[in-house]
Amino acid sequence: MAERLTDRGFEVVEADSGEKALELLEQFAFDIVITDLRMPGVDGGGVIEVARQRYPGIVAIVITGYGTVKDAVDAIKRGASDFIAKPFQFDELMHVLQKALEQRRLSSENAYLRAQLEERYQFGGILGRSRPMQALFHLLDTVARSSSTIIITGETGTGKEVVARAIHHNSPRRANRFVALNCSAIPETLLEAELFGHVRGAFTGAVGTRQGRFEQAHKGTLFLDEVGTMSPSLQMKLLRALQEREFERIGDNQTIKVDVRVIAATNSELAKMVGEGTFREDLYYRLNVIPIQLPPLRDRRDDIPLLVKHFLEKFAPGTTMHVSQSAMRGLMAYTWPGNVRQLENAIERAVALSAGREEIDVADLPPEVQATPQPTSTPFVDFPDDGLNLPGYLASIERDLIHRALERTRGNRNRAADLLRIKRTTLVEKLKRIGPDR
């Protein structure tokens, strides 16, 4: 067998026992293992189990004695790809082998395609398949490589913070810190100390010397959230820190130099604030080197099914939970003023309310989502990327509705035809085409 396989172009290594086979498997990543089942010492099942563990993609063929089909079934359970019974022709072995190799090729291709697909729909944990999000991923990929200042704008819950983190984690600075500071969460008087640090006795309560966030973020990224809420005097200090990359701790006159990339975020309209005189124009231009605008969720509804799936996996891991057609229609129709965060909360709530049911229905959705009038009553179809077969798809809907009409009328064709607003003869014709039942 080894000789004939070699003739066919395989590179063959032989082992005269299970133990020897395990030893060889340690040393080399074989593509295929062919083994007898009953052997003294480590038997064929044992060999396969170890081979599979070490190389999940390995093709394992078992050769069994005549009449021991049960053994063969056990071997399959332990990970064998296929088996052949003794005595056998060499061609039989070749056939089984080729089939298994083809299967392996397909499954690894699938895994590759799947990984690629998942890759395509996300950037560092930000999910999106809509056009605006795909364009955003492209932009993020480019700007992550630079050290330019970035300002992210977008309504609440659109993902400003996830985007800032994704930029950092895809930048050359990823080995250093990502330091976040929410400027609106800290009282004005303390914000300056948070940013630049202070020395002992700089103000009442400054008991020791402290590093500010700028220093902590040295060689990394500083994320300034809600930057629009800063006071004019602090805006000026921030401007200097951005321009000169230097500052002093409060109460100290020693200048500290840092290498920090700044990413700012805001959900207020800075340009308008500049017009109104509440935000410094020079700071605005300093921050606005690379503006990134996150679109609200209602302008990228194509992302909703993907996000729903993601949040279902998050809140109901390891289950087959899904959203009913009408619930999905409701989710697609709603305007989501709180954007992705609101959708995330809605799914978390629905999972809790579903109490173990497999399917989330309209009643599990928040009242405001339920209250949204839905534009149409057509089923929601998540349009696959590689398209779909329209006639086949429509036929399957037709078949389904006809069967459901017949179910409802307990097989009464006259009444089913009425329900479907078609003539009885048309119904009979259609039934002939699609078969009497599922």
Ligand X SMILES: Nc1ncnc2c1ncn2[C@@H]1O[C@H](COP(=O)(O)OP(=O)(O)OP(=O)(O)O)[C@@H](O)[C@H]1O
The site for ligand X (CB under 6 A) is made up of 126-128, 154, 156-162, 267, 340-341, 344
Q: Which does 304 bind (CB under 5 to 8 A by kind): ligand X, Mg ion, none?
A: none
Whose Cβ is closer to ligand X: residue 34's or residue 152's?
152
CB-CB neighbours of 47 under 10 Å: 28
Q: Which does 324 bind (CB under 5 to 8 A by kind): Mg ion, ligand X, none?
A: none
74 binds Mg ion (CB under 5 A): no
Min. distance of Cβ 304 from ligand X in angstroms?
Answer: 11
Min. distance of Cβ 336 from ligand X in angstroms?
Answer: 11
How far is it, in rounded angstroms, from Cα 394 to Cα 386?
A: 17
How far is it, in rounded angstroms, from Cα 433 to Cα 402?
A: 12
Whose Cβ is closer to ligand X: residue 79's or residue 124's?
124
Whose Cβ is closer to ligand X: residue 100's or residue 350's?
350
Select the span of 11-19, 123-131, 153-161, 329-337 touching Mg ion (CB under 5 A). Answer: 153-161
Q: Which does 157 bind (CB under 5 to 8 A by kind): Mg ion, ligand X, none?
A: ligand X
Q: Which does 252 bind (CB under 5 to 8 A by kind): Mg ion, ligand X, none?
A: none
HSE-CB at 376 with a 13 A cutoff on CA atoms is 5
Whose Cβ is closer to ligand X: residue 129's or residue 198's?
129
Q: Which does 162 bind (CB under 5 to 8 A by kind): ligand X, Mg ion, none?
A: ligand X
Min. distance of Cβ 23 from ligand X in angstroms?
Answer: 48
Q: Which does 305 bind (CB under 5 to 8 A by kind): Mg ion, ligand X, none?
A: none
Whose Cβ is closer to ligand X: residue 18's or residue 159's?
159
Query: Considering Cα of 92, then 94, then 99, then 101, what sign does the dihedral take?
Result: positive
Min. distance of Cβ 62 from Mg ion in angstroms?
Answer: 57
Residue nearest to Mg ion (CB): 161
161 binds Mg ion (CB under 5 A): yes
Whose Cβ is closer to Mg ion: residue 160's or residue 300's?
160
Min. distance of Cβ 297 from ligand X in angstroms?
Answer: 8
Whose Cβ is closer to ligand X: residue 30's or residue 279's?
279
Min. distance of Cβ 181 from ligand X in angstroms?
Answer: 13
Contact status, residue 93 vs residue 61, Cβ threshold 8 Å: yes
Min. distance of Cβ 292 from ligand X in angstroms?
Answer: 11
155 binds Mg ion (CB under 5 A): no
- Which 3-state string (H, E, C) describes the chain? CHHHHHHCCCCCCCCCCHHHHHHHHHHCCCCEEEEECCCCCCCHHHHHHHHHHHCCCCEEEEEECCCCHHHHHHHHHCCCCEEEECCCCHHHHHHHHHHHHHHHHHHHHHHHHHHHHHHHCEECCEECCCHHHHHHHHHHHHHHCCCCCEEEECCCCCCHHHHHHHHHHCCCCCCCCEEEEECCCCCHHHHHHHHHEECCCCCCCCCCCEECHHHHCCCCEEEEECHHHCCHHHHHHHHHHHHHCEEECECCCCEEECCCEEEEEECCCHHHHHHHCCCCHHHHHHHCCEEEECCCHHHCCCHHHHHHHHHHHHHCCCCCCEECHHHHHHHHHCCCCCHHHHHHHHHHHHHHHHCCCCEECHHHCCHHHHCCCCCCCCCCCCCCCCCCCHHHHHHHHHHHHHHHHHHHCCCCHHHHHHHCCCCHHHHHHHHHHHCCCC
Whose Cβ is closer to ligand X: residue 162's or residue 206's?
162
Min. distance of Cβ 191 from ligand X in angstroms?
Answer: 17
Residue nearest to ligand X (CB): 159
Whose Cβ is closer to ligand X: residue 51's or residue 183's?
183
How far is it, in rounded angstroms, from Cα 23 to Cα 42?
A: 12
Min. distance of Cβ 176 from Mg ion in angstroms?
Answer: 22
Whose Cβ is closer to Mg ion: residue 49's or residue 161's?
161
Select the span of 160-168, 235-243, 349-357, 389-397 touching Mg ion (CB under 5 A). Answer: 160-168
Min. distance of Cβ 355 from Mg ion in angstroms?
Answer: 32
Residues that bind Mg ion (CB under 5 A): 161
